[in-house]
A and B are shown apart, each in its own frame.
Chain A
């Protein structure tokens, strides 16, 4: 017998409302970017005019290339630093392992405001005030804990006998790493890279502190733009970023489980 279950219904209704709240700004942005009548509702059709404008805008293109270079470099470096550390953490038992792990994850615990300020002051002091290095370092340190987390998880699933088998048939350490370990771990590495890239690509707080003149990453560029105008071109750019983030989310989720990765 079905009883009218007020509690369950309320729970479902509330969740639906919250989901609406979560999706609202995303949906509206996508809508505006495709609406030929800019902000006028209802839309009369679909246009890619705004996208064309966004993707040919000199400022945005420059921001994109900065973000792209920054994201790729930061992810590569962060992953390269994290990989050996993850291997040591997963494969070796040593005293103080928990402390080392906490230490390596510590950038997640420091408020970005303070971390960025600290780097800013530090590099000013070192005389690097306006180079590209502070920005890159900031991004690398910011994403490294995430790389470490995905790689640790994927190494936990890695069967060490794959490596032993390779050594057994005559492969040295380096050869084993290149031909066996990395290819077997590739899904974990792909998701790790995707996560690091997207975090760097979307970052605002660190970039706004550390970006030198002439090297403004896209989010900062977009922010300066929408300070003065909220037109559909900005919507198109924002939509592009949303789509890119969604692709990264799918990648990460497929290979690493998004939820485990995003937990703080």
Chain B
């Protein structure tokens, strides 16, 4: 869309013959919070740094509010950047760090002072103006980095794993604060992370990357519930995978036969236009599998034995060895007892939650 805040079109980055970023396209609407999520080395940082102008793309184009910035030097782009290691200038105080960009913009002294005060107060740093970066804790440094970027009121804020250097408790707090601040200021944000919890909880939309390519772009809920590929299903949350063959595609239901011979029903259309005989993967989330209290008859009811019970407090996860040979993980939230290993159980795989994906070349 022409009124998107960022439009990334088929950007590429080659290092020698290695494609660090390969044909990546996505856009971010004004005020939207979009995450780039993927395993380490998948090209998130490289993509973000191309948008900021630190790396020259090998191909493709980048537009910010319709303006082509692909070949502009970083100082000519109105894009804020929060670095993973904060990159606070060690020889400048907090206030000087924030003021540096403002001075370059030839703002008046009054304006600069006001802006420093404002951006430090929204990030909760009032009173720290004269500290040097090394006199601050990790969390405070993170806030300064944010304040420094926000003070310039950029059209767009880029953040590269800004919370990854904090300990876990602080990370969760900062995640909430950051999201609140972003929503309040309606700051268009592109956020890089390898932490799926962060991406799912903060984003309006998530771009999932793998091996330099985009796997899926979707809202967090869709991503989790309807992953477009096995990679996405595996990377986001925990999933049971079963390889098998698509047996039947019909009005009422589809059928998959697993390698063991066990047949599972899925809702009609789950096969996504595949033909009977196609090799497929059947996916089911552990929390969607129901543990039955006793033997029942019907489709998708499987028998097995508890192999392992993992207790996480609110959640209990069983690994069940099915009689047909597969291992199935399932999660229970309301439970009164923990079943012993070896206990025979019956489980049901609800057809409406069974996803069937073509067995593509990708992992």
**Which residue numbers of A lie inside 8 Å of B, CB to CB?**
159, 161-162, 164-172, 175, 179-180, 183-184, 186
Chain-A contact segment, one of B33-41, B86-94, B121-129, B310-318: B86-94
If over half of A's interface residues share one DSSP class (helix, strand or loop), that class is named, otherwise mixed; here it is helix
A183 neighbours in B (Cβ, 8 Å)? 89, 91
Shortest Cβ distance from A164 into B: residue: B54
Min CB distance, A263 to chain B, in Å? 28
Distance A183 CA – B132 CA, assembled complex (angstroms):
14
Say whether A165 contacts B75, CB under 8 Å. Answer: no
A179 and B90 in contact, given A159-B85, A164-B54, A164-B83 (Cβ under 8 angstroms): no
A169 and B89 in contact, given A164-B54, A164-B74 (Cβ under 8 angstroms): no
Shortest Cβ distance from A161 into B: residue: B87
A167 and B54 in contact, given A161-B83, A172-B75, A175-B104 (Cβ under 8 angstroms): yes
Additional 10 contacts, C-beta under 8 A, given A161-B87, A164-B74, A171-B101? A162-B89, A164-B81, A167-B54, A167-B73, A167-B74, A169-B148, A171-B104, A172-B75, A184-B90, A186-B91
Distance A170 CA – B81 CA, assembled complex (angstroms):
11
Say whether A166 contacts B91, CB under 8 Å. Answer: no
A175 neighbours in B (Cβ, 8 Å)? 104
Distance A100 CA – B83 CA, assembled complex (angstroms):
33
Contact string, B49-75, partner A, CB cutoff 8 A, digits 1/0? 100111000000000000000000111
Min CB distance, B69 to chain A, in Å? 13
Say whether A162 contacts B73, CB under 8 Å. Answer: no
**Which residue numbers of B lie inside 8 Å of A, CB to CB?**
49, 52-54, 73-75, 79-81, 83, 85, 87-91, 100-101, 104-105, 148-149, 152
Min CB distance, B160 to chain A, in Å? 9
Q: Which of B75, B79, B90, B149 contacts A171 (CB 8 A)?
A: B75
Distance A183 CA – B93 CA, assembled complex (angstroms):
13
A165 and B83 in contact, given A171-B100, A175-B104, A179-B100 (Cβ under 8 angstroms): yes
Q: Which of A166, A168, A170 contacts B52 (CB 8 A)?
A: A168
Say whether B54 contacts A166, CB under 8 Å. Answer: no
Distance A164 CA – B86 CA, assembled complex (angstroms):
11
A184 and B73 in contact, given A161-B83, A169-B100, A170-B105 (Cβ under 8 angstroms): no
Say whether A165 contacts B87, CB under 8 Å. Answer: yes
Say whether A168 contacts B91, CB under 8 Å. Answer: no
Distance A159 CA – B148 CA, assembled complex (angstroms):
18
A180 and B89 in contact, given A165-B83, A168-B80, A171-B75 (Cβ under 8 angstroms): yes
Distance A186 CA – B89 CA, assembled complex (angstroms):
13
Say whether B87 contacts A170, CB under 8 Å. Answer: no
B90 neighbours in A (Cβ, 8 Å)? 162, 184
B83 neighbours in A (Cβ, 8 Å)? 161, 164-165
29 sample A-B contacts, Cβ–Cβ < 8 Å, listed by A number: A159-B85, A161-B87, A162-B87, A162-B89, A164-B49, A164-B54, A164-B83, A165-B88, A165-B148, A167-B75, A168-B52, A168-B54, A168-B75, A168-B80, A168-B81, A169-B75, A169-B101, A169-B104, A169-B148, A169-B149, A169-B152, A170-B75, A170-B104, A171-B101, A171-B104, A175-B104, A179-B100, A183-B89, A183-B91
Most B CB within 10 A of own CB, among A165, A168, A170: A168
A172 neighbours in B (Cβ, 8 Å)? 73, 75
Shortest Cβ distance from A176 into B: residue: B75
Shortest Cβ distance from B90 into A: residue: A184
A168 and B89 in contact, given A161-B83, A175-B104, A179-B100 (Cβ under 8 angstroms): no
The 5 closest A-B pairs by CB, nearest first: A169-B101, A161-B87, A167-B74, A165-B87, A170-B104
Distance A183 CA – B85 CA, assembled complex (angstroms):
19
B101 neighbours in A (Cβ, 8 Å)? 169-171
Min CB distance, B178 to chain A, in Å? 19
Most A CB within 10 A of own CB, among B53, B104, B152: B104
Distance A167 CA – B105 CA, assembled complex (angstroms):
13
Shortest Cβ distance from A168 into B: residue: B81
Min CB distance, A172 to chain B, in Å? 6
Shortest Cβ distance from A165 into B: residue: B87
B148 neighbours in A (Cβ, 8 Å)? 165, 169
B89 neighbours in A (Cβ, 8 Å)? 162, 165-166, 180, 183-184
Min CB distance, A230 to chain B, in Å? 48
B49 neighbours in A (Cβ, 8 Å)? 164
B79 neighbours in A (Cβ, 8 Å)? 168
A167 neighbours in B (Cβ, 8 Å)? 53-54, 73-75
